[in-house]
């Protein structure tokens, strides 16, 4: 009897042991990964294997992974686990528009089993995330792009190995990452840019390369079997190009780009050196120094052999790229000189008008999905401006538009110097602002206009006498005169104080009136009216009179036919094309909102705010879009460097020619 009892007890023990499923620990496996594989929590795994909690897991350890007989209330038959067929799991990379439902349908797995393998699935549903699935399902239903990574199983994954030869790694657009791979090596090998590599593999930019992982190196296949059109890279701005001129007599041309000081040859002061640290990657270095892969490789050809700790890299200094610290809401501060606290209403009307246009632009971008938090600050006046700075939190501000005056702009730049927050100056423009590389200057430099006038005059000059109508400072007139004397052969240039001083002369041989060239270098509206009247009169006296203006005047549009006879050419940076679809839409929206047409400063407010917001991305990296040429309601924005590693200044303008 005793012997029978012993045999029965042994049989019960044997059956109990055989009901427990075990797992042999493989290299790089963790308690969390194993528990996910078998639909357990980490606590349940430790309860079944107390020694694992005390001593940790070692390669070759055999641990219990079945809840049967382990003190757990629930019993999960082995046959119901998603990886039961082969005991292996793999991962896929979550692609755009993929959903939990879509994954279960494509890979023929129940949602319950999917969640057992991915307990935190809902909180990690982002493009680029890794989703664990049974390896059999990935291989059978994943199509040509089944981004799989073999994980721990009951069998050693001897049949899933990284490709030894690169040529054998490209299975229908896939490549298995090798131990010494880096972004440059892969992109060069498969003739890709880094941007294309990241676009083909969402999430790779942040997660980095992992040996043994399959990545996509061709657009021909995708996880859903669709074409490469499923991945699109769009720039976050509206390409509102200028429409046709309002009248047929106006021929609008694009200004020539002005070369900046940054185009000069680089000196050693333009570069820094960096010693590669353990754990550095190509991406982390590029991100840290704000350089592209091409820039890094061109200065460091030895990177072709891979990135190694201890190697010294030469890196070109770049502008600081401001990036949001957290969240996806863009925090914008708008500083306008209302003057309520200072009891100074001098610029209040201008500020109110600017605000109405800026508000319309902000609402327009918010409707397009941009998340904005806009704070309006009363900048007072130049004497009380410092008090307004206390209303700005540099730790939670991504963009500052304003203030209006140069002295106030300098105060803001000093205030945010450590944070390098982008600052937009709507009206201030001075050489002592050019040193600040986080400053965006909206007003085009007068020197850009004067240089263009010199070029325009040079194209028609035939030894005529040249009159330049100057303003009080004569700075613009002197710049034009100096440019003409440098580019033309001994020109006869006269600077006058008013248009009434422009006179025709008689040819001593024939007695006929000799045509002249007249240039307006004064932006005063009354000066524009006088200039238009004078050159119209001169054009009636003799043929061949040529007229140019650095600035636009409303009187030019009122006298188009007469001014066409003297071939007037003028420059302008703010003019609404009332026939354009975009312009019609904005004007109608403004009138619907404010029951009036926008004033000059309302137009500027809209243009500045809309241009800046359309250059922003979710990270607040406005300078990544700063090189794009954009035309808003009335203003063309074309930013160039004022000087090497200095401020950005708008060189956008249009040339208007009135022709017969």
β-partners of residue 101 are none
**Fold of the CATH domain 89-139:** Membrane-bound Lytic Murein Transglycosylase D; Chain A (3.10.350)
Q: Give the count of beta carbons closer than 10 Å to the beta carbon of residue 125.
A: 15
Q: What is the pLDDT of residue 174?
A: 77
* Token code pair at residue 55: 């001593």
CATH superfamily assigned to domain 22-64: LysM domain (3.10.350.10)
* CB within 8 Å of 195: residues ≥ 6 apart: 233
Question: What CA–CA distances, in Å, run from 565 to 253, 292, 416, 420, 553?
Answer: 20, 52, 53, 52, 17
What is the per-residue pLDDT for 3? 39
- What kind of fold does domain 271-316 have according to CATH? Membrane-bound Lytic Murein Transglycosylase D; Chain A (3.10.350)
pLDDT of residue 96: 62
pLDDT at residue 259, rounded to an integer: 35
Q: Fold identical between 330-443+613-645 and 446-572?
A: no
Please name the CATH architecture into which domain 446-572 falls: 3-Layer(aba) Sandwich (3.40)
Domain spans in the chain, listed from the N-terminal domain onward: 22-64, 89-139, 271-316, 330-443+613-645, 446-572
> What pLDDT sits at residue 227?
30
Closest CA to 570 of 635, 659, 649: 659
Based on its alpha-carbon atoms, the radius of gyration of the chain, rounded to whole angstroms, reads 35
Coil/strand/helix, residue 301: helix
Which pLDDT score is estimated for 366? 93
CA atoms of 449 and 179, how far apart (whole Å): 57
- Give the chain's largest Cα–Cα span: 149
Q: Using alpha carbons, select from 91, 245, 307 the residue that is nearest to residue 578.
A: 245
User: What secondary structure does DSSP assign to 314-334, as a single string?
Assistant: EEE--------SSSS-EEEEE
Burial 213-234 (b: 16+ CB within 10 A, else e): bbbbbbbebbbeeeeeeebeee
E-assigned strands of 217-265? 250-254
User: How much of the chain is helix, strand and coil, in % rounded to 5?
Assistant: 40, 15, 45
CA distance 181 to 191: 15
Pick the CATH number of 330-443+613-645 from 3.30.420.40, 3.40.50.2300, 2.40.50.100, 2.60.40.2310: 3.40.50.2300
CB atoms within 10 A of CB 105: 11
Which secondary-structure segment (H or E) carries 467? strand 466-470
Partner residues linked to 72 by β-bridges: none
The pLDDT of residue 184 is 62
Specify the pTM.
Answer: 0.51
Cα 514 to chain center, whole Å? 55
**Among candidates 287, 285, 290, which has minimal Cα distance to 309?**
285
Q: Residue 266: what pLDDT?
A: 45
pLDDT value, residue 163 = 31
Mean pLDDT of residues grouped by 10 in the chain (660 residues)? 38 41 74 76 80 74 67 35 62 74 80 80 67 83 50 37 33 70 71 72 71 70 31 24 31 34 44 80 71 76 80 72 73 93 88 96 93 92 86 91 94 91 93 92 88 93 95 94 94 96 87 93 94 95 94 90 92 82 94 94 96 90 87 90 86 84
In sequence order, the 6+-apart residues with CB closer than 8 A to the CB of 112 are: none
Q: Find the angle CA(647)-CA(649)-CA(651) to the nearest 5 degrees.
A: 155
């Amino acid at each position: 009897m005793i012997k029978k009892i012993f045999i029965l007890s042994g049989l019960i023990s044997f059956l109990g042991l055989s009901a427990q499923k075990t797992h042999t620990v493989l290299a790089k496996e963790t308690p969390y990964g194993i528990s996910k594989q078998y639909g357990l929590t980490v606590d349940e795994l430790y309860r079944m294997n107390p020694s694992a909690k005390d001593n940790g897991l070692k390669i070759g350890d055999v641990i219990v992974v079945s809840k049967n007989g382990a003190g757990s209330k629930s019993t999960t038959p082995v046959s119901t686990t998603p990886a039961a067929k082969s005991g292996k799991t793999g991962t896929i990379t979550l692609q755009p528009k993929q959903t939990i439902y879509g994954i279960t349908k494509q890979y023929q797995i129940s949602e319950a089993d999917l969640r057992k393998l991915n307990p935190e699935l809902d909180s990690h549903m982002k493009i680029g995330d890794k989703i664990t699935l049974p390896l059999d399902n990935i291989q059978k239903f994943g199509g040509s792009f089944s981004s799989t990574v073999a994980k721990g199983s009951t069998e050693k994954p001897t049949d899933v190995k990284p490709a030894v030869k690169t040529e054998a790694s490209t299975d229908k657009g896939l490549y298995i990452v090798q131990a010494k791979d880096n972004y440059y090596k892969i992109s060069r090998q498969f003739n890709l840019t880094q941007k294309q590599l990241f676009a083909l593999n969402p999430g790779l930019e942040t997660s980095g390369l992992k040996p043994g992982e399959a990545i996509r190196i061709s657009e021909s296949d995708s996880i859903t079997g669709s074409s490469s059109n499923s991945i699109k890279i769009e720039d976050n701005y509206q390409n509102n190009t200028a429409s046709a001129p309002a009248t047929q007599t106006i021929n609008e041309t694009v200004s020539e780009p002005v070369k900046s000081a940054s185009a000069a040859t680089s000196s050693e002061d333009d570069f820094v050196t960096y010693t590669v640290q353990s754990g550095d990657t190509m991406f982390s270095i590029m991100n840290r120094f704000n350089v592209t892969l091409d820039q890094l490789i061109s200065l460091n050809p030895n990177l072709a052999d891979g990135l190694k700790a201890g190697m010294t890299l030469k890196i070109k200094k770049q502008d600081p790229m401001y990036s949001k610290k957290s969240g996806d809401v863009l925090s914008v501060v708008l500083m306008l000189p209302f003057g309520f606290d200072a009891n100074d209403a001098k610029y209040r009307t201008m500020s109110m008008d600017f605000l109405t246009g800026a508000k319309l632009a902000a609402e327009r971008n918010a409707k397009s999905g941009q998340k904005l938090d806009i704070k309006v600050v009363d900048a007072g006046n130049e004497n009380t401006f410092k008090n307004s700075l206390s209303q700005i939190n540099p730790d939670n501000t991504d963009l500052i538009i304003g203030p209006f005056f140069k002295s106030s702009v300098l105060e803001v730049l000093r205030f945010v110097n450590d944070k390098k927050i982008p600052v937009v100056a709507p009206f201030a423009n001075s050489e002592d602002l050019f040193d600040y590389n986080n400053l965006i200057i909206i007003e085009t430099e007068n020197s850009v206009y004067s240089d263009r006038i010199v070029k325009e005059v040079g194209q028609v000059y035939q030894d005529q006498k040249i009159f330049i109508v100057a303003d009080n400072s004569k700075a613009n007139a002197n710049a034009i005169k100096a440019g003409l004397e440098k580019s033309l052969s001994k020109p006869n240039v006269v600077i006058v104080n008013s248009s009434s001083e422009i006179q025709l002369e008689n040819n001593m041989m024939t007695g006929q009136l000799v045509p002249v060239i007249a240039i307006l270098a004064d932006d005063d509206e009354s000066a524009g009216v006088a200039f238009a009247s004078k050159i119209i009169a001169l054009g009636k006296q003799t043929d061949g009179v040529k007229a140019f203006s650095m600035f636009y005047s409303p009187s030019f549009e009122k006298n188009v036919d007469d001014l066409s006879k003297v071939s007037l050419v003028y420059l302008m940076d703010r003019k609404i094309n009332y026939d354009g679809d975009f312009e019609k839409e904005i004007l109608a929206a403004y009138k619907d909102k404010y029951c009036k047409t926008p004033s000059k400063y309302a137009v500027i407010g809209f243009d500045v705010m809309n241009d800046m917001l359309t250059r922003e991305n979710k990270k607040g990296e406005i300078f990544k879009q700063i090189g794009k040429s954009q035309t808003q309601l009335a203003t063309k924005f074309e930013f160039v460097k004022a000087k090497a590693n200095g401020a950005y200044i708008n060189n956008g303008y249009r040339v208007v020619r009135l022709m017969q």
